[in-house]
Chains A and B, each alone.
Chain A
């Protein structure tokens, strides 16, 4: 059985009915008990949210830590969590009202002092990997146990959603001080689950927090995250009933799920966008016309169909469900080979152009590259492809600034301002040539000034318009988050961020 969320059905090719979801939900009454076995393709890099190095850690971290602010699963709007309310009395002050009566797993009370400790810690810890996330933060003032004021260096209305990420995950000050550098071996949060065991490269185990502040949660007694790096092997472990849940499957693996009566697939939109990164500073891609020609030469629908068939076309870096999505930009680069040839000729490349590309050396990326190479060949863009491992491509393209194009993906961030500043900021790692687009840095900064969502969406529309007009990248398709789980697993709700959460998951008898 394949379930696609009604709200997320959007542009996906494929034919599933939303009513299946309704029936599946109505039939299941939540019940407590049981342990969920999850096949995870990567191990946690650190149980300390301040020192982790992978966005895939969230799968486990979300169970142990609550964030100050959460996001709505469907739209990624900020919603209350440990902070029951927040406001910007002036553009440079964020006031957080804190939930009362919450305790960390070790009994330490969660209060204003704990928030200050956490926000200071992530900026002071030598091994911190998230200092830059809270770069706008100047000081934290504890007004009362239930209220803190965050004084900012400059306006930053992206901060609430940044606090729904690692930076907002609250660790117990008592445990962090007690364990010091070893805190990631003894993590303590306020989350639905408490830490039990971490066997490196093997498994992580969490168990129910009996004193959890959310009523009647969690349903599960515990979760085992079993590290199985190969998705094929992970899916196999579901077929043999060794595990109950797997995520990030390839569309081609859906056929295996379909054949099994024991498994259910859930396909949902995520922010994961397949795209072409450009080096904007070296010829020929320092000419906007060549970049635009590439965008016009790509038939995104054909690409999506040829590479698994489950996709929605990416016109920008945000899918249609997102609050900052701008309809006006849909179809900005419709497939138009003639236009591509004209642009190339105008740029002095009437005989075509040669480009050095990178992509990853696994089968799926090879296939994607092959499809694009054929499409670009039609307008006389000749691709010279180098395939390598992820670290090698990262090293050569982003660090050593070799090649013109990198066929890869972007996993998205809770607040889109992070996405745009990380990908196109003039000094960003992911902008390898450090190509400067006049006015873009300022336009991105402007998205963090207003706290009104409508005003922010308008500011993002301007950023997105600039990014597309200058063809700073070539969006391809949004890759769905494909989850498969045993039929006994109920209550799973996908998130637009694409990271699985187990907040409402339970096991039926």
Chain B
């Protein structure tokens, strides 16, 4: 493939970044204004007179027109400064840097679990299509996809944390400080997220691999006398790698969003908890900062997935 062939899709993706960020942050900023409550009243304290509330409004710049407040935030963000939380005064970038690893650990853990369980199940179902194993995988994956993750999370807690006391039921530990303890904290939330993902992966693998196994070239390989295992893993699974990567990208983005609920069940100080608390308190610099980072993460994931897909199958780039 030519360099031009790579640059075009890459450039197209990057060109999408700016309008998406502008649209997402502006929409979220606008929506926050619909949330009831006056931050100035909160910041002024309970015994404050109306004059004091006005002083506070002036002090924090909350009296400026919305578009001015947004433009001010955007200008700072463009210079890499995500401002400070209006409530705690902590730089937003620091809060995100502290919380994001907790969220990413759960999401990556869930992805690994989903792949580790979903691929073998999907392969088995495709290999023995129409068998009892196929039916079992279909039922299990449907169950996995249908099961609400917050409900599953509570069931996992009652068994593994309260009943057996094998794993902690709340919180998290920074991975750098104590890697093992950090992993112990991540197991149950990751598992709660992974079950739906595993169901999704199993379904997609079954469907894609089923098609591949019925294709002409596989028939040719069989006719040439290749071992079934070799056909399945070497030719079959390799041919669905683009599908797998695409599912991986979609799952990552979906799990990132789903952590908001799972973090609440396990009281994990992640980015979901951060944005929920900030939104409830109308702490708009924090909400804006988190949304910006989330948007960047999703765009980066999609871009990486596209690039890898192009590497694995150059035909992708031409479509």
User: Size of chain A's interface in residues, with CB distance under 8 A?
Assistant: 44
Most A Cβ at <10 Å: residue of B42, B266, B267: B267
CB-CB contacts below 8 Å: A124-161 with B: 126-133
For the residues of A in contact with B, the DSSP-based class is: mixed
List residues of chain B with CB within 8 A of the CB of A236: 157, 161-162, 169-170
User: Size of chain B's interface in residues, with CB distance under 8 A?
Assistant: 44
A230, B264: Cβ atoms closer than 8 Å: yes
B48 interfacial contact with A, CB 8 Å? yes
A181 to B47, CA, bound (A): 22
List residues of chain B with CB within 8 A of the CB of A242: 168-171
Known: A129-B45, A236-B162, A392-B37. A181 touches B89 (CB 8 A): yes
A132, B52: Cβ atoms closer than 8 Å: yes
A395 interfacial contact with B, CB 8 Å? yes
Most B Cβ at <10 Å: residue of A200, A226, A236, A429: A200
B87 interfacial contact with A, CB 8 Å? yes
Closest A residue to B49 by beta carbon equals A132
Known: A236-B157, A236-B161, A242-B171. A422 touches B35 (CB 8 A): no
B44 interfacial contact with A, CB 8 Å? yes
CB-CB contacts below 8 Å: B261-286 with A: 264-267, 269, 273-274, 277, 280-282
Partner of A422, one of B38, B47, B168, B265: B47
Q: From residue A131, how far is it (CB to closest CB) to chain B in Å?
A: 7
Q: From residue B170, how far is it (CB to closest CB) to chain A in Å?
A: 5
Closest B residue to A126 by beta carbon equals B59
B43 interfacial contact with A, CB 8 Å? yes
B273, A201: Cβ atoms closer than 8 Å: yes
Known: A184-B89, A236-B157, A236-B161. A229 touches B37 (CB 8 A): no
B36, A392: Cβ atoms closer than 8 Å: yes
Partner of A199, one of B37, B52, B55, B269: B269
B239 interfacial contact with A, CB 8 Å? no
A395 to B37, CA, bound (A): 5
A202 interfacial contact with B, CB 8 Å? yes
Binary flags per residue of B8-36, CB closer than 8 Å to A gives 1, else 0: 00000000000000000000000000011
Partner of B59, one of A127, A241, A429: A127
A45 to B44, CA, bound (A): 13
List residues of chain B with CB within 8 A of the CB of A201: 99, 269, 273-274, 277
Closest B residue to A428 by beta carbon equals B47
Q: From residue B44, how far is it (CB to closest CB) to chain A in Å?
A: 7
List residues of chain A with CB within 8 A of the CB of B35: 391
B36, A396: Cβ atoms closer than 8 Å: yes
Closest A residue to B43 by beta carbon equals A53
A234 to B170, CA, bound (A): 8
List residues of chain A with CB within 8 A of the CB of B2: none
Q: From residue A396, how far is it (CB to closest CB) to chain B in Å?
A: 7
Binding site for B on A (CB under 8 A): 45-46, 53, 126-133, 181-182, 184-185, 199-202, 226-230, 233-234, 236-237, 239-242, 388-389, 391-392, 394-396, 399, 418, 422, 427, 429
Binding site for A on B (CB under 8 A): 35-38, 41-49, 52, 55-56, 59, 85, 87-90, 95, 98-99, 157, 161-162, 165, 168-171, 264-267, 269, 273-274, 277, 280-282
| A-B complex: 4 closest residue pairs judged by Cβ atoms | A129-B45, A132-B47, A391-B37, A202-B269
Contacts A/B (CB < 8 Å), 18 sampled? A45-B87, A45-B88, A46-B88, A126-B59, A129-B44, A130-B45, A200-B85, A200-B95, A200-B98, A201-B273, A233-B170, A236-B170, A237-B170, A391-B36, A392-B36, A395-B38, A399-B41, A429-B48
